[in-house]
Each structure stands twice: as C-alpha cells, then as structure tokens.
Homo-oligomer: A and B are copies of this chain.
C-alpha cells in the first residue's frame, strides 16, 4: 500500500512533540515524511531536513512557500497531509491555509487560541471534506478505547459520577527557580499559551477523555483556578465542577504544581451497575469495579476486548505498548480517513473535539474570573 505523503510544520531540533509525531507516523507505517518547515530559522530547518533525509528542495522557508512549492508538484508527488506541531498561536493560521489549499491535517492541541477560530476551522473542514485529526493522544490507548466501547454497550448502567484528574509537577521546579523563570517557559506567557496554562495544556485532555469515553457532553462548568505565585498571570492549578444535564455531576482536577507527579491523567466513571478506572501511567490496565463481583482487570490483546481496543494493540498480551503506539493508532485512523477507507468514530479525535476543547478552556477561565460561577459550554 502506498504511504501517505506527509509534511510537517515545526518539530525541528529539540522539539520532542515533533519527534513523537514522526515516530508515530513511522510505527503505523502509513505515512512518509516528504517535506516541511521545521524551524523558523531556515538554516536550522535545512540542517534538520538533511538529517531526516528530506529532499532539500522540499524543505521550505515558510508555510506560504511550502504550500506554493507543493502545489506545483505533480499530484502523485505532492504532500497529502501536514502535521502541525508549532506553538499554539500558530495552529489556527497555518491550519486555515493548509485546509484552504486542500491538505489534510494532523494538528496538535490546543487547536486554536479562541473558540471563534476553532469554529471557523470546523466549518472549513466540513466544507472541504478534508480529514482533520487533533492529537488527543490518550484516546489512542487500547484500554481507553475499551472503556468507550464498554460504556457504549451499557455495561455501566446509568452513569452517576465522573472524576478525571490531570496532575503534573514539572512547572513546580521552574516557578521556584531563581532565574528568569517566566520568560523561560512559554506556557506561562499568555501571548504564546493563550488564556490558560494548566487547563489549556492538560486540563483539556481530561475534558476530552471524559467526552470521548462516555459519549456525553459536559453542559456547564464552575471552576476555581490558582496561579500559585503572585507574579504569574495564568492558572497553574485548578478544579472544575461539571454538570452533564440531569442528575449527573463530576469533577476535573488539574495541576502543574503537583510536585513529583509525572503525567498523572486518570479517569473514573461510576455507573449504577459497574464502574471503570484507568490511569495513563499504567495504560494497559483497565479496572472494572462492581458492588457484587470481584474487580476485573482488562488488559490488551485478549479475546474478551471489544473490536477497536483489539485492533489498537499489535503485540501479544503482556508485552506493553506505550504512548508512541497510542499516537500511532491515531495516525493509523487518520490514514484510513485520508484514504477513504472505512473507519469507526473514535479512531482519531476530530475538529469537533477541538471546538469542544476550546469552549471548555474559555468557559473555565470565564467562570474563575467571574467569581466561580456556572458557565454553559
């Protein structure tokens, strides 16, 4: 099968997320990297392209040149999709241009800086019919997909409480450092990070994980955020109360100052018949709790799993796959969509997930600003 020709913006030397995208695209083996703008510094970009074995002629000075250059190439040589791994503020303008010129997209989150931009992209995707994948990477884990399918089958009964957490500690050491701490971290700078640090960077993953696994929409939120230090303007920590309509309530807890926490994304979905618990740091274990039966531990590569979970794990049971494979699963689903193959909802997060995420981030910030009041999403 011919590989999809993929371009990339961002992701040059030292950019771990760009490297992750390339690895994921190689793992699933449905893409080949053919061109890109890897760095704002053209020389560095070219050096990087050389290291990656990219045709020098297809290492472009900027996105406009990239579009122009690729469009000149024959259709069977031209790149088909672009992976956008630039800083947040550039996601929207770049995504818009690429869509307007007929390129499929894989875009890092947060998708845009504002809800309006997100909605504009959603309209563009709808009108162009192009594939747009947003890398909420955690939805690529087999056991997250298993959760989604178990909930969809009604195994949990009525959902009664949802509790998601995303705790990290890495900003802790930075904000307590003595040197130039704020300038050193673009995530603390509203110009680059947008309206939120903690919720925009990681809280939104917890939000997405809830909507992905349950198929429910969060209707209203009430947040209480903290900047932790006086000279920081963005949230580094917060709690968000959730309402889903009806009697169902829940909570998202998210923080970047939980010292010693590495990447503590967890979710618990409690139902009238059974409950599910999952933790990102041990992604191959899914716990099903019950009041009347022993707790069950679901693991990948077993016949008892639902279809999508099983297709998302390639090794035999007990051979742990990790986050690169989760991202590869998303690339795999995206490739199916680009090729016009059949795929299932849930194989990759869409532009609509991006719109939902932006609404969440902005509602959270607004609720906090207004004195911790309920805001509709």
How far apart sit A107 and B290, CA to CA, in the bound complex (Å)? 33
Interface membership of A130, Cβ < 8 A: no
Interface membership of A251, Cβ < 8 A: yes
Pick from A22-30, A178-186, A349-357 the stretch touching chain B: A22-30
Interface membership of A376, Cβ < 8 A: no
Do A304 and B292 contact each other (CB < 8 Å), given the known contacts A27-B23, A259-B274? yes
- Residues in chain B near residue A372, CB distance under 8 A: 222, 241, 372, 374
Interface size class of A (residues with CB under 8 A): 35 or more
DSSP majority for the A interface? loop
Interface membership of A273, Cβ < 8 A: yes
Q: Name the CB-closest residue of B to A251.
A: B239
- Whether the pair B259, A273 counts as a contact (CB closer than 8 A) is yes
- Whether the pair A295, B296 counts as a contact (CB closer than 8 A) is yes
- Whether the pair A291, B257 counts as a contact (CB closer than 8 A) is no
- Residues in chain B near residue A241, CB distance under 8 A: 224, 239, 241, 372
A residues 308-329 in Cβ contact with B at 8 Å: 314-325
Interface membership of A297, Cβ < 8 A: yes
Q: Name the CB-closest residue of B to A257.
A: B160
How far apart sit A283 and B320, CA to CA, in the bound complex (Å)? 8
Among B228, B273, B298, the residue within 8 A (CB) of A160 is B228
- Whether the pair B291, A173 counts as a contact (CB closer than 8 A) is yes
Distance to closest chain B CB from A140 (angstroms): 12
Closest 3 CB pairs of A and B: A260-B289, A262-B318, A263-B318
Cross-chain pairs A/B with CB under 8 angstroms, 20 sampled:
A1-B51, A1-B53, A23-B26, A23-B27, A26-B27, A160-B259, A161-B255, A163-B253, A172-B272, A259-B275, A262-B299, A263-B317, A281-B320, A283-B320, A294-B302, A294-B304, A315-B322, A315-B323, A321-B322, A324-B324
In addition to A20-B315, A239-B241, A258-B268, 4 A-B residue pairs with Cβ atoms within 8 Å of each other are A23-B26, A170-B291, A262-B317, A281-B320
